[in-house]
Structure 1
């Protein structure tokens, strides 16, 4: 008999001898901690051996008492309702994890539920193979998602000795990760400064990102510093490649002017073919040919030598934005009772629009604007990051570009980005409307946010928003127009913000946060 079975047998024996009881009493009597007893009680409940009351704390008892008389058993209708409720809870958790790994405490906050309740749900889903937990980062992930590969790759490393970084940097922590890369917070061993370094498989798409970053120099875009390729040895393990501890041979760095990026979260399930040639993004910047050649040699999977399982990566160094993300900014204010300061919101949004206007003026489209990809720098200024999906507005001859559908984050992508292959820079205006709304309107839970964003995509605003923010409502409504041609360009939005919200130069020069 296993140790787990023995403990559950002790709980059953206690209930037989003493009758119904709460978890704390059971734990004291059988010499286990309360959390362990709770876990076993819920396991026994799932196997229909015990049941609990609706009291707080729950009172537990056996489904069938020792005298052979059955306890009240749930009717098929009640069982159906319970199953439906459990399925609904699992759906909520899955919806949150679709955008990437999250810690249990964050899931609890987004769902508006106690941490213990969410933990029970997560471990229950893990037992049925629906989710998994990354032990290093304590992030919960959907089982089978693309991000699993980067987690399994990272699990073979100590953070202080990530291949490709160990020669020049001490790795402090991992800031985030997605299906195509991860971002580390690092300290340079020689200049002593803190930076963010993004590690991605070296493909044509990664090359496009770096070349776009090299062109951009704006106070509202994360500052880019340099990049370098590196290799790691990979061994096949049936379903996934895992990275070994061999240190890669570091190539010389490729340094450009300025700009930057942050972690990319690509939720698209289609192939990785970029919808625009690398040279379209950079107007054939010949000085950057070294990474293009490596990317071409690496192929779409980034494997230079399949025989030796050698994979090429690109490391992108940029400024570290210690002010956090707009997602955190929004969540903090959602927890605050006091009214939001409209001037602060409009100033932040003005800086976001300024960055987007600059991106568009360079004939580029960001394609993945969302609160996670908007950061705050040391000076409190907005910094737009993550250019992993950057694309040219037109081809060499100025014509439309055939693009890959559903590239980006589903909750924020425009209708045409989701359904069409031809679209222009107006696709970035749609998520700006959603972001502005999130900054203005208090949302209590993650599920409320998901429902409201879905309604907003169809221009259904919550009751009271128009009365509270009449001017903003008109702007956002135009930005969320289904037809791209009906949305205002970033330049016009910026001018209207200055005019309608009195954003003078003195105010704009102040710190945002």
Structure 2
């Protein structure tokens, strides 16, 4: 029957025999997700033929080939193609592929996002580019220039969408009874490219979308003789909209958190995250059905890229009758016509995961997320801050690059990438700007790694103690001195921090104070108008809340409140809020006034309503040093009297 024929192979044979140029154009899909109908049409020598529709792209292409054959053989398609002929596609060599891709995105309401990078080459850096079309990432392509790489990447997307790279050659070479199998494989080549992180293709699964990452992890652990377990992180959401969070632990190493609507989905996601990390640590991945020698492409086309192909097909193809391949395996020579495309199917290696091994997610804020990482070559641990790039994001980088002080978090370098780190991409960044703006880039800032606990944690721990700790005063004086030293240095560089608070003050490896988070830093220019109410309300000076002109004295006000919190036990947030209000009014608890006479005097001056009445950091530093020396002398004298 006609319905069982391979019309694609027959049409290819017809076009080859008559020296006609044949290609297919994908026309899109209609209907809901569960019942989509796809459309394609054949174009022969620039002439459009009636479209074919089907439940899958393959069925639509088969129908389009059948319609074209009927027209060509029966000569009855003049009326069917009259309008289509007017809209014939220009020759491929005349197409501006970047413009075509942008128009394709507008026509189908898809965001088109170019991802341009450079990778090390034999002599210099090589430009690479790939495209995100909607939520689908296409393979990366290299070029002699950034423009050429972008054009080649757009052309690759064009070829894949229109079927030029994935079907024609195979159908020409295999127009016999095995042509249908070749067509099946061709339909899945793009899925092979997009799943090269798994690097395993099995034709028993035509969609090649669902990958059993738990199975891959299990195989890996058996091969490496290690154990793994899933760790339940948390459950969020209402009963009808649960979100489960799991992470994978292999031996004693933990991998990024995965989430899902079910426990199974969350575990699969966690296994996927771990699998990607494991792959980046090795250029060879063992396949699920055995270990194969990888196909390695030339150095100028790829950077240390290996593909491990496991294509299980029956019956297997072979090139001659004398040399039979092993049963069940597809001879690699059959894929000669895929080599051009496979050269481009390389795993995108980002600088972040190329240079660093992510160890832990330390936290997130308005800017993005902070990760504890280990440099793969230096074996040194750092913190890397990742967030959506905005012009004002560079303000923090510029400031940090200008600062080098014992009491300020040290900055090393920064770079930009087209993608964020996948650990918690959906949670940490501004999703609206990320989803709707194809030009979104991500800023990575490499910094000194500090202790996980901040000054906020230190204060909260002290507040849990039953009585006012006798050592708390001594420790608080040291911490206050170091904070003032850092603030003095910031002001000496003509900067205003604007967001001094305990959570932004950390500790180094030796316990020294480290001021961080310079996301709101600004220049201390007397004539500059500033943003009203920029910072954290609790620690804001009056003029910072209401006026457009203020100076470095807003930092001194925040310092006064921090100094008070360091010294005095405040068990609850409501108590903090109440005492904060009275402290600004120069009214302190009576016991505090009696116990901390000198400290109260310093805090009062820092909390002065008028900024000009607040002392500079250098004056507070000198006063604290003098008082600390007096306090230490008095303490030593008391201890001496007790021992006599």
Query: Could you state the TM-score of these two structures normalised by the residue count of structure 1?
Result: 0.53
Counterpart of 1:451 (choices 578, 597, 610) is 578
Give the alignment partner of residue 359 of structure 1, picking from 464, 472, 490: 490
> How far apart are residue 457 of structure 1 and its match?
3.1
Report the Cα offset of residue 133 of structure 1: 8.0
Q: Secondary structure at the match of 1:320?
A: coil
Given the alignment, which residue of 613, 627, 630 partners 1:500? 627
Mapped to 1, the partners of 2:375 and 2:615 lie a distance apart of 43
The 8 Å contact of residues 302 and 313 in structure 1, kept in 2 or not, is answered as no
2:563 equivalent to 1:436:
yes
**Which structure 1 residue ranges, 5 or more long, are not aligned?**
1-122, 138-154, 235-241, 246-262, 265-271, 273-300, 507-513
Aligned equivalent of 1:414, options 513, 537, 541: 541
Aligned to 2:461: 332
Question: 1:219, 1:383 within 8 Å by CA — same for their partners in 2?
Answer: yes
2:523 to 372, 387, 392: 392
1:348 aligns with 479
Q: Render the CA deviation track for 1:26-53: whole Å, top value 9, x for unaligned.
A: xxxxxxxxxxxxxxxxxxxxxxxxxxxx
The residue matched to 1:174 in structure 2 has which SS?
strand
- For the pair 1:376 / 2:502, whether they are aligned, the reply is no
Distance 2:452 2:436 in 1: 41
Partner SS for 1:232: coil
Which of the residues 617, 631, 635 maps onto 1:490? 617
Residue matched to 1:215: 402
Give the Cα separation in 1 of the matches to 2:394 and 2:407: 22
Structure 1 residue 322: deviation in Å?
Answer: 2.0
CA distance in 2 between counterparts of 1:244 and 1:374 reads: 27
**How many corresponding residue pairs?**
305
* CA deviation vs aligned residue, 1:110-130 (integer Å, no higher than 9, x gap): xxxxxxxxxxxxx9x96599x
Write out per-residue CA displacement over residues 227-267 of structure 1, whole angstroms, 9 at most, x where no aligned residue: 11111289xxxxxxx9589xxxxxxxxxxxxxxxxx99xxx
Task: Give CA deviations for 1:80-117 in whole Å, capped at 9, x if unaligned.
Answer: xxxxxxxxxxxxxxxxxxxxxxxxxxxxxxxxxxxxxx
Shift of 1:135: 4.2
Q: Distance in 2 between matches of 1:134 and 1:351?
A: 42
Q: CA deviation at 1:171?
A: 1.4
Residue number in structure 1 paired with 2:68: none
Shift of the alpha carbon at 1:180? Answer: 2.2
Larger Rg belongs to: 2
Aligned to 1:224: 411
SS class of match (2:364): strand
Distance 1:473 1:134 in 2: 49
Q: Check if 1:401 corresponds to 2:588.
A: no
Partner of 2:539, secondary structure, is coil
Q: Which residue of 1 aligns with 2:446?
A: 317
Is the Cα–Cα contact under 8 Å of residues 479 and 488 in structure 1 kept in the other structure? yes
Cα distance change, pair 233–469 in 1 and its aligned pair in 2 (3 A)? closer
Cα distance, 1:306–1:376 mapped onto 2, change above 3 Å: same
**Higher alpha-carbon deviation: 323-332 or 357-366:** 323-332
Give the whole-Å Cα distance in 2 for the aligned partners of 1:330 and 1:132.
Answer: 35
Asked if the contact 2:480–2:563 (Cα under 8 Å) also holds between the matched residues in 1, the reply is yes
Per-residue CA distance 1:49-70 (angstroms, 9 max, x = gap): xxxxxxxxxxxxxxxxxxxxxx
SS in 2 for 1:464: helix
Instruction: Quote the offset at 1:440 in angstroms.
Output: 0.3
Q: CA deviation at 1:163?
A: 6.1
Q: Does residue 183 in structure 1 map to residue 370 in structure 2?
A: yes
Tell me, in whole angstroms, the C-alpha distance in 1 between the residues paired with 2:441 and 2:455: 32
Aligned residue in 1 for 2:341 = none
Match of 2:34 in 1: none
CA distance 1:165–1:188, shift in 2 (3 Å): same
Equivalences for residues 157-168 of structure 1 within 5 A: 158=273, 165-168=352-355
SS in structure 2 opposite 1:311? Answer: coil
**Match for 1:469 among 558, 574, 596?**
596
The C-alpha deviation readout for 1:464-508, integer Å capped at 9, x for no partner, is 1101111111110110111111110101000101112218999xx
Shift of 1:132: 10
Identify if the C-alpha distance between structure 1 residues 340 and 417 changes in structure 2 by more than 3 Å, giving closer, same or farther: farther
Tell me the CA shift for residue 158 of structure 1.
Answer: 3.7
Alignment match, 1:171: 358
CA contact (8 A) 1:400 1:423 kept: no
SS at match of 1:347: helix
Taking only aligned residues, the RMSD between alpha carbons, in angstroms, comes to 3.9
Alignment of structure 1 residues 45-194 onto 2, 5 Å: 135=245, 158=273, 165-194=352-381
For 1:259-298, list aligned pairs within 5 A: none
1:409 shift after superposition: 0.9
Q: Does 1:203 align with 2:334?
A: no
Are 2:574 and 1:478 equivalent residues in the alignment?
Answer: no
Whole-angstrom distance in 1 between the partners of 2:546 and 2:243: 33
Contact kept? 2:356, 2:374, Cα under 8 Å: yes
Q: 1:166 to 1:368 in 2, by over 3 A?
A: same
Closer, same or farther in 2 for the Cα pair 1:410/1:318, shift >3 Å? same
Q: Which has the higher contact order (CA 8 A, sep 6+)?
A: 1
Structure 1 residues 132 and 465, CA gap change in structure 2 (3 angstroms): farther
Unaligned runs of 5+ residues in structure 2 are: 1-234, 248-268, 278-348, 634-644
Match in the other structure for 2:328: none
2:388/2:443 contact within 8 Å kept: yes
Cα distance, 1:324 vs. partner?
2.4
